[in-house]
Structure 1
C-alpha cells in the first residue's frame, strides 16, 4: 500500500506535485476485495435498512478495515485527498453497491444528510435538473460545476459507471489557492476572512434562515480551512434582498479565485474509473467537474454514489464556521444539511455511530434561527 499517514497535516500542493507523487493513491489487494465481498453477503442476510446497520452487520476482516482507515487518514495528511482503486462494482447490482458502500461508511465516519429530503446517501447522476437556478444543486445534472467543497469533513464518491464523454474530476489545494492570493493581492486576504452570505439552496432546516454566514478563508494559522461556492454566494444576492450587497473588493476577490482555481498550476484533473473511491478533505481541497455527455441506455449512464462523512480524526474549525457546521471541535460530529425530513431512525444511527467511533456529538439545534437572523440584519 502507498497510503500516507497523517504526520505533518495537510500542506499546499500544485498539480505537478500531485501528478508526480502518487502517495495519495491506494490499490486494493485481492484479500481486501474479498473482505468487502464477504461482508456484503452477510449484510444482505440481515434484512436491515441502511440506517439500522451496524459494523457487526457488515463484518470486515482486518485487512479490509485497515484499507479504509488508511484512506481516511490520508485525507487528513499531505494532499488532503485519497483515491482507492479496485472495488468490485462490476460484480454488484446497484442496490448491492449501495449496501456495500454504506457498510464501508460504518468504518470511516458518521454519514451526514445531504439535501432537502434529508437523504444520507446520494446518487450523482443526470436527472435532468438545472444547476444555476434557485435551489439548484450540481449532483443531479450533467453540468460543469463551480469549484466548491461539500458540507462535511470528507466527501466520498464511489464510481459505478462513467459518462460517454466528459465528467472529469478537478481538484485543487485551497491552501495553495490562499498562498497565490497572498502573493498577488494580499489586500484581499482580510476580505476573504470576513463572513460572507451564502444561500442554503433550500436545504436548511425549517427553523433556519435560507442563507448563512461563513468566511471563504479561515484565519487559524495552525488549521487552515476554506469554504467557497460562487453559485451559492450569487444565489444569496439574487434571491434575498435583505442580504448585504457584495462590495467591490468582494467581487474582485471572487473574480481572482475564478481566475486562479482552474489554472494549470493549481488544478489537477483525474478520470474516475469504475470501482474508484475518491475521498476529499473539504477544508483543504476544492473540487469541480467538467460537463459530460451520457449514454442513451439507462443501464450505461454515468453514476456515482456519494457519502458525506464526519470523521473521527478531523481538524478543529474557526468559531465563525459554527453557524454552518454546528460544531467546530476536532473529531466532533458536524456538517451536512438538515433538510426537512430528519427521521428518528437517522438520529438513532447518528448517536450509535458516534459512540462506536468515539466521536463527540451534541443534539442538533440551529445556531441562528430565522427570527434571529432577521433581527441581526435589521439592526
Structure 2
C-alpha cells in the first residue's frame, strides 16, 4: 500500500483535565466527535490500488459456514461470566465503573484477547450464542455483557445523555425527522454505516415480530470492487468534501457539523484504509445547505451515496440475531445495516438490543487514526460538555 503521513502521534488541541472518579467511576472520559486533522487527509493517488489481507472477505466465504464466525458459549464460560457478574453486583460498584480489574475472567480472558485481535486486524466480526439473558434478567445480563466488553475495549458514550450502555429499541420517534432523531430509537431501516467507535456490540434481549435483521460487509472488499468498477466514486469518497451532522449533540462552542472524508488512510507507513460513514448523517444537513451555510451534495456525491449502498447490499452477509446472541464487529473495516422491523403487539416485549460502543486506543493495538484523540483510551463516541456516563438497564 502507498505510504501515508507521519506516524507520530497527533497533538491534542485541549486537555481532558482532571477526571473525578465520583463522576467517571473508571477514571476515563469519552473524547467525543471531532473534525479530522486535515493535514493527515491524503489525496486519492496515495491510496492503494487494491487491499489485501484478512480484512478483505466475501460473503460467500461465510454464508454457508457459520462455524467460521459463530461461537456458542460453553457451560464453563457461562459459569465464569456468572461468577464475575455476581461478584460485581455484590460489590455495589456503579455499572459505569466496571473494568477488567473488577471483572475477572481467568480462562475466558485469553480467548477474548485473541478475539479482540481478530476484530481489529482480522475478519472483524463474531456472533456469540447461548448468553442466558432470560435466565439472568436484564440487570445481571447487562453486567456480564459489559464485563465481557471490557476485554475488547473501553466503553464510550453513545449519545448526549452519556449512555455507555445503549438500547436499540423503537421508542415511537419519527424516523423521517433525521436531523433530530437517532434511527436506532425507531423501527426504520438502517442503511450501511459505521458507528462512532472502534467496535460495536449488540446483545439481543427480545426479537421483533418480523424484520430487524442484520447485514454486514467488508468495507475493504467494497473498496476493491469500487476500485475496479467505479474509481470515480472511490475518489469522491476520499475527498474531505463531506459534511456530517451532529444532530444537536454538541458541546458549548462546537459547530453543528463536521467536514471530513468518508474513506481515509491511517497515519504512518502502509496506512490501512478506514471508512467512516452514515448516510443519515449526511442527508440530514439540508437545514444548513438550504441556507447556504454549507454546500449542497453535488451530483458526484449523490452518485457516490447510491453506488456505495448498492455495492454494500450486493456483497453483504445476512445475519439473524436470536435472543441471547451477541454480535461484535469492527467499525474500522466493516459496514453494517439493519432491515426495518415490526414489533409484536403488546403485551409482548418490543425488539430490544443492548449496545456497546468500545474504543481501542492506538497504544493498545488500535488503528492510527487521523484524529487528535487517536491514543486516548476513550476515543470517539459522543461527549457533550461534562455529561457523566450512565448505564440504564432499559431504553429511556
TM-score (norm 1): 0.81
What is residue 4 of structure 2 aligned with on the other side? none
Q: Distance in 2 between matches of 1:282 and 1:116?
A: 20
Contact 2:155 2:378 in 1 (8 A): no
More deviation, 168-177/235-244: 235-244
Change (3 A) 1:56 1:257: closer
Q: Which runs of 4 or more aligned residues in structure 1 lie more than 4 Å from their structure 2 counterparts after TM superposition? A: none
Contact 1:46 1:57 in 2 (8 A): no
Q: Distance in 2 between matches of 1:217 and 1:250?
A: 13
Q: Distance in 2 between matches of 1:95 and 1:139?
A: 21
Q: Distance in 1 between matches of 2:100 and 2:374?
A: 27
Contact 1:42 1:59 in 2 (8 A): no
What is residue 382 of structure 2 aligned with on the other side? 337
Structure with more of its chain in helix, by fraction:
1
2:96 pairs with 42, 51, 66, which one?
51
Q: Distance in 1 between matches of 2:113 and 2:169?
A: 28
What is residue 163 of structure 2 aligned with on the other side? 119
Counterpart secondary structure, 1:286: strand
1:82 pairs with 121, 126, 133, which one?
126
What is residue 9 of structure 2 aligned with on the other side? none
What is residue 212 of structure 1 aligned with on the other side? 258
Q: Distance in 2 between matches of 1:197 and 1:303?
A: 31
What is residue 297 of structure 1 aligned with on the other side? 346
Q: CA deviation at 1:56?
A: 4.1
Q: Distance in 1 between matches of 2:306 and 2:98?
A: 46
1:42 is the counterpart of 2:87: yes
1:188 is the counterpart of 2:237: no
Alignment of 1:26-41 (within 5 A): 26-41=71-86
1:314 is the counterpart of 2:360: no
Counterpart secondary structure, 2:244: strand
Contact 2:154 2:377 in 1 (8 A): no
Q: CA deviation at 1:298?
A: 4.8
TM-score (norm 2): 0.77
Change (3 A) 1:38 1:118: same
Q: Distance in 1 between matches of 2:166 and 2:347?
A: 18
Change (3 A) 1:248 1:278: same
Contact 2:96 2:164 in 1 (8 A): no
Counterpart secondary structure, 1:218: strand
Alignment of 1:1-379 (within 5 A): 10-21=54-65, 22-60=67-105, 62-133=106-177, 134-195=179-240, 196-220=242-266, 222-240=271-289, 241=291, 242-263=293-314, 266-298=315-347, 300-311=349-360, 312-317=364-369, 319=370, 322=371, 326-329=372-375, 332-340=377-385, 342-343=387-388
Change (3 A) 1:148 1:282: same
Q: CA deviation at 1:23?
A: 2.5
What is residue 17 of structure 2 aligned with on the other side? none
Tell me the alpha carbon deviations over residues 141-162 of structure 1, each in whole angstroms, 9 at most, x when there is no partner. 1111111110000001111111
Contact 1:74 1:82 in 2 (8 A): no
More deviation, 168-177/204-213: 204-213
Q: Distance in 1 between matches of 2:348 and 2:139?
A: 13
Contact 1:118 1:341 in 2 (8 A): no
Q: Which has the higher contact order (CA 8 A, sep 6+)?
A: 2
Tell me the alpha carbon deviations over residues 95-121 of structure 1, each in whole angstroms, 9 at most, x when there is no partner. 222222222222221100111212111
Counterpart secondary structure, 1:93: helix
Q: Distance in 1 between matches of 2:155 and 2:330?
A: 15
> Structure 2 regions of 5+ residues with no counterpart?
1-51, 391-396
Q: Distance in 2 between matches of 1:160 and 1:10?
A: 31
Counterpart secondary structure, 1:123: strand
Q: Distance in 2 between matches of 1:187 and 1:92?
A: 52
Q: Distance in 1 between matches of 2:217 and 2:109?
A: 28
Tell me the alpha carbon deviations over residues 256-284 of structure 1, each in whole angstroms, 9 at most, x when there is no partner. 11221211xx1111001121111111010
Change (3 A) 1:299 1:104: farther
Change (3 A) 1:99 1:151: same
Aligned residue pairs total 328
Q: Distance in 2 between matches of 1:208 and 1:9?
A: 39
Q: Distance in 1 between matches of 2:337 and 2:73?
A: 26
